[in-house]
Structure 1
Amino acid sequence: MVNPGSFSLSFGVSLVSHISLFDPALQRRYFRLSSSGTAPIPFELFVVIIATLASHFGHFSSEYGSGVAGDIPTGFLPPQLPAWTLIPNVAVDAFSIAIVGFAITVSLSEMFAKKHGYTVDANQEMYAIGFCNILPSFFRCFTTSAALTKTLVKESTGCQTQMSGLITAVILLLVLLVIAPLFYSLQKCVLAVIIVVNLRGALGKFRDVPQMWRVNRIDASIWLITMATSALVNTELGLLVGVLVSAFFVLGRTQQAQVMELGRTATREHYENVSSYRGLQTHSGVAVFRYGAPIYYANQRLFKKSLYKCADLNPVREKALRLKFKKNKKQQEETGEIPKVKSEDNLSKVNEVEASASITMMLDEKASINIRSLVIDCSGILFLDTAGINALEEVRKDYRELGVEVVLAQCNTSVLDSLERGGYYDSKKDGEVGRNNMTFFTIADAVSYAQSLNVPIGDYDNKS
């Protein structure tokens, strides 16, 4: 029977060899040998042969009790259907192995495709790997994927056709049928040494951590967390943690996006953030804003809050102040006098009414002077969900009730399709029949349209 420990170490050797692909020193070594026209020396093979001979003739297993590979069966096992009852036990491992195998295969293919000037289709590679694993699954074979170190050796020696693969298959066939029993006395510690030696390239990646941290702290943090979880716990949990941490950081970036006010350059129709560049010109009565993140359920409230803050006009608060002021004014007209001050509570109420009136007048004057139309640059909005569409509709409706028209510009096709499906252009939805809910290809066109509008600021008062 096959010793499980030996095959576990063998799989570890294979996996660590895969990791060595991303070691720049190893790549330079093989590529330098390729350019010189000489083949690399297989030191690992020599170590295995010498250690096996020494263990066999020195009787290390019987004399010192050291672990050896043991009996390795030869030949092929009869084909049989996979044991479906084992799927729940191996599903997580199979998923992680599939991801790692596919990533390694595609990375290796793209590396050599770039070097030799051809292209690689990742989907085609995925289908190829999948079909290559169907037939071997009936013979209890290992998962098929690219052998990184072997591919590097072949490339360095000038292999360019499938004949090299045929020769490799013949040699492996000889190992399975004839040579396998010769590894009976192979020491497990030798396999462990090979793993440690091959880990040098992977451990060398820690020297790149300071540079990675300077370039992008978020990516460096994701790499460190994923690496630590995979090394300290297991590969499956490491992959899951890496995906979740990446999703968390993406979600965090969308939560930190802010609305920016844009201004036009003096020489051309180009708009940039007024707080980042000098000499930008703004339009009288038209404010242009940009939001650099998708609008969806997790950040739609933050989008509206940031927009109202940047525009310096909160339509919800403005409407509440106006309604409160009108209610107090109506009470005064009905009674014919200002409420008498009978106590400290009444005095505070009167002061509150006067303060509300003064705030409302100030906001009305500011809105009538500064903002008549509002243009939202949607070039940074990658997609919208239902909550995002509803947020844009609420913004448009709330500002329209104050006499401020909202116009969208530079929407991509995905956003336009979402707005169409979400009913954003339905003029009957908000009771504004005949009002144009238009979008424009450029900010300049949207600003020109907004300047041509004659939206009466007193429209809100007339409706009420």
Structure 2
Amino acid sequence: MRGILEKIMPAYGWLRVYRRSDLTRDFSAALVITAMLVPQGMAYALLAGLPPRYGLYASTVPAIVYALFGTSRHMPVGPPALMALLTLTSVSALAEPGTARYISLALLLAFMVGVFQVAIGFLRMGFVTNFISHPVLNGFIYASAVIIALSQVEHVLGIPLAGELSTIEIVRELGQRIGETNVLALAIALSSLVAILLLSRVVPRLPAPLLVVAAATVVVYLLGLDSRSGGVDVVGSVPSGLPTPSLPTLELGAIRALAPAALIVAFVGFIESISVAKAVAARENYKIDSNQELKALGYANVAAAFFSGFPVAGSFSRTAVQYRSGGRTQMASIITALMIVVVLLFLTPLFYYLPNAALAAVILVAVFGLVDVKEARRIYRIRRDDGLALLVTLVVTLLVGVEQGILAGVVVALIFFIRRTAYPRVFELGYVEHEDSFLGQNSYPEGRTFPKTLILRFDARLYFANIPYLEDYLISATADRPDLELLVIDFRGVNGIDVTAIEGLENLISEYRARGVKVLFTHVKPQVRGRLERAGWAAEYPEVIRHQTTRDAFKSLGLLADKDARDPERRL
């Protein structure tokens, strides 16, 4: 019974053995995260096109729900920048940001994201997220950082932009209206930005965003710099109290319109969360259950929909801070949520004079950490195809849209993958005496060849898309060998085979037999041999797959003397 309860709600496991010493460390970490989360949550809500308090709402009940059902002991769940951006791009196509309808649709989006994640988790289909490769995700993150930064330039410069503009339109309009810059807003934003960066570097343990935002608020209040006196835009009145539980509006038309975006948000949120959760779990030597994580994130997003939040996920920055601050369990997240509740109940009047320019600085600092140019160069250096997938994702996301960028990246990555598997490595082998091995002649041109014999190695799963390539390669390789009598194909790199490939091999064997050429397949792996035997090869082509190694084949044919036959494949 205990095991079943722990599987359904992992918190049951760590709560049973929770120690008083852990509470001190979790409470300390919660204080740091709360100080970081209050300005971040409000800033991300503005980024999502919602009133600031919704960022705090999204940091309460959803965080507690994930803490109870998630398998990560260290990852706090809340509103990260990417989820805010995805909310804005998804919902703004249907309603004007900040309006009652927009808020209603944002809650609906959170609900749909949660339902998708829970469903995928119960169906144990978390592997589907593997189709979004690391380079594609990086390209999306880099583009998102640029989009987020551009979306905050209006607050930095104090130039309000009308409507939902594309990246190019934002750049064009800001360029045309640069003369309208509000000097006070620019000064507050730049000074806040510099102060956060300096404090984070010099005194990393201090909650730099909270201190800087508080200082900016005090300055605006004391000097009367708010917009009523021709100064800067401020957050204004933030209603105190907790959100009233409510059902999201289930409009069939809106559900259809938001479905593709909700699926993207569900996958991106899960990938961002699982990446950071696994990184910390590896350091602390415990396991993360991917499917349970999907369900836990799904429950958290459903809770966000019922308690006036917006889509949530794990956060890279907050997880790192909570971990470095000594947090031991998800109790830190629960305590953080309770502290946010205290803020909502008693401290919201303090936010009235909080300048939007300072919140923009908080967002800009957060997105600076998302861009890793060295990693992009490394990806391109390792494999150019992956670098191009990253670049396509970045460009399409910037110029067209977030969902389109991810889809374009996935399609390009899959095309490159299919191309690689359709044209795999095939190379000729020769016997290299000083290595006592059969090795590729492109690397070892001194390798010994055998008269009237061709030895090839095929390095890929054989399937319908690449069997024609093998056929073409053989035609080319044997065109100038009219006296060929023996063809040996090393299957060491073949991990699987399908029906089309088997039929193609049968045709090849028949054609070479008709020409008087003996065909042998060596190093056939058990899973491939099993398929061939089920296809009737044990009766029809027993001699083709008889020899386990190339050594065995050459020894039985008298092509290698005993002194040369000391298992030349052993080192491959």
Aligned length: 379
> Is the contact made by 1:289 and 1:376 (CA closer than 8 Å) also made in structure 2?
yes
Match of residue 62 from structure 1: 228
2-side partners of 1:135 and 1:226: how far apart? Answer: 31
> Is the contact made by 1:383 and 1:414 (CA closer than 8 Å) also made in structure 2?
yes
Query: Which of 236, 240, 243 is the equivalent residue of 2:410?
Result: 243
1-side partners of 2:435 and 2:225: how far apart? Answer: 85
Q: CA deviation at 1:397?
A: 1.2
Q: CA deviation at 1:307?
A: 1.6
Q: SS state of the match for residue 8, structure 1? A: coil
Match of residue 461 from structure 1: none
> Is the contact made by 1:258 and 1:306 (CA closer than 8 Å) also made in structure 2?
no
Change in 2 beyond 3 A, CA 1:214/1:15: same
2-side partners of 1:135 and 1:440: how far apart? Answer: 61
Change in 2 beyond 3 A, CA 1:443/1:178: farther
1-side partners of 2:220 and 2:380: how far apart? Answer: 47
Aligned partner letter, 1:251:
I
Query: Which of 296, 306, 309 is the equivalent residue of 2:476?
Result: 309
How do residues 166-185 of structure 1 correspond to structure 2 at under 5 angstroms?
166-185=334-353
Change in 2 beyond 3 A, CA 1:182/1:290: same
1-side partners of 2:533 and 2:352: how far apart? Answer: 70
Q: CA deviation at 1:398?
A: 0.7
Q: CA deviation at 1:407?
A: 2.0
Query: Which of 552, 558, 564 is the equivalent residue of 1:445?
Result: 552
Give a deviation string over 1:224-280, Cα, whole Å, max 9, x none: 222233333332222112211111211222344353111123256632112320432
Alpha-carbon RMSD across the aligned residues, in angstroms, is 3.8
Q: CA deviation at 1:415?
A: 3.0
Give a deviation string over 1:115-162, Cα, whole Å, max 9, x none: 334444434433433344444443343334223222222222222133
1-side partners of 2:546 and 2:250: how far apart? Answer: 58
Match of residue 271 from structure 1: 438
Q: CA deviation at 1:304?
A: 0.3
Q: SS state of the match for residue 271, structure 1? A: strand
Change in 2 beyond 3 A, CA 1:233/1:67: farther
Match of residue 319 from structure 2: 151
2-side partners of 1:128 and 1:269: how far apart? Answer: 55
Aligned partner letter, 1:60:
D
TM-score normalized by structure 2? 0.57
Q: CA deviation at 1:167?
A: 1.8
Kindly name which structure, 1 or 2, has the bigger radius of gyration based on alpha carbons. Answer: 1
> Is the contact made by 2:81 and 2:367 (CA closer than 8 Å) also made in structure 1?
no
2:189 counterpart of 1:48: no
| Range moving further from structure 2, 137-146 or 300-309 | 137-146
Q: CA deviation at 1:312?
A: 3.3
2-side partners of 1:192 and 1:450: how far apart? Answer: 77
Q: Which runs of 5+ in 1 are unaligned?
A: 24-29, 314-362, 428-432, 453-464
Q: CA deviation at 1:305?
A: 0.7
Match of residue 179 from structure 2: none
2-side partners of 1:406 and 1:130: how far apart? Answer: 55
Q: CA deviation at 1:198?
A: 2.7
Match of residue 420 from structure 2: 253
How do residues 12-23 of structure 1 correspond to structure 2 at under 5 angstroms?
14-15=80-81
Give a deviation string over 1:269-304, Cα, whole Å, max 9, x none: 632112320432233444221122333333322210
2:519 counterpart of 1:406: yes
Change in 2 beyond 3 A, CA 1:446/1:135: farther
How do residues 328-367 of structure 1 correspond to structure 2 at under 5 angstroms?
366-367=482-483
2-side partners of 1:259 and 1:434: how far apart? Answer: 23
Q: Which has the higher contact order (CA 8 A, sep 6+)?
A: 2
Q: CA deviation at 1:170?
A: 0.9
Match of residue 397 from structure 2: 230
2-side partners of 1:39 and 1:434: how far apart? Answer: 70
Query: Which of 298, 319, 322 is the equivalent residue of 1:130?
Result: 298
Match of residue 197 from structure 1: 365
Aligned partner letter, 1:49:
A
2:549 counterpart of 1:425: no
Change in 2 beyond 3 A, CA 1:40/1:69: same
1-side partners of 2:541 and 2:317: how far apart? Answer: 69
2:562 counterpart of 1:396: no
Change in 2 beyond 3 A, CA 1:128/1:16: closer
> Is the contact made by 1:39 and 1:156 (CA closer than 8 Å) also made in structure 2?
no
Aligned partner letter, 2:465:
A
Identity of aligned residues (%): 29
Q: CA deviation at 1:71?
A: 4.6
Q: CA deviation at 1:392?
A: 1.1
1-side partners of 2:301 and 2:501: how far apart? Answer: 44
Match of residue 8 from structure 1: 49
Change in 2 beyond 3 A, CA 1:49/1:98: same
Q: CA deviation at 1:394?
A: 1.2
1-side partners of 2:491 and 2:473: how far apart? Answer: 15
Q: CA deviation at 1:70?
A: 4.4
Q: SS state of the match for residue 369, structure 2? A: helix
Aligned partner letter, 2:229:
E
> Is the contact made by 1:68 and 1:187 (CA closer than 8 Å) also made in structure 2?
yes
Q: SS state of the match for residue 461, structure 2? A: coil
> Is the contact made by 2:217 and 2:354 (CA closer than 8 Å) also made in structure 1?
yes
Q: CA deviation at 1:436?
A: 4.2
Query: Which of 82, 88, 95 is the equivalent residue of 2:263?
Result: 95
2-side partners of 1:380 and 1:439: how far apart? Answer: 18
2-side partners of 1:165 and 1:195: how far apart? Answer: 22
Change in 2 beyond 3 A, CA 1:441/1:118: farther
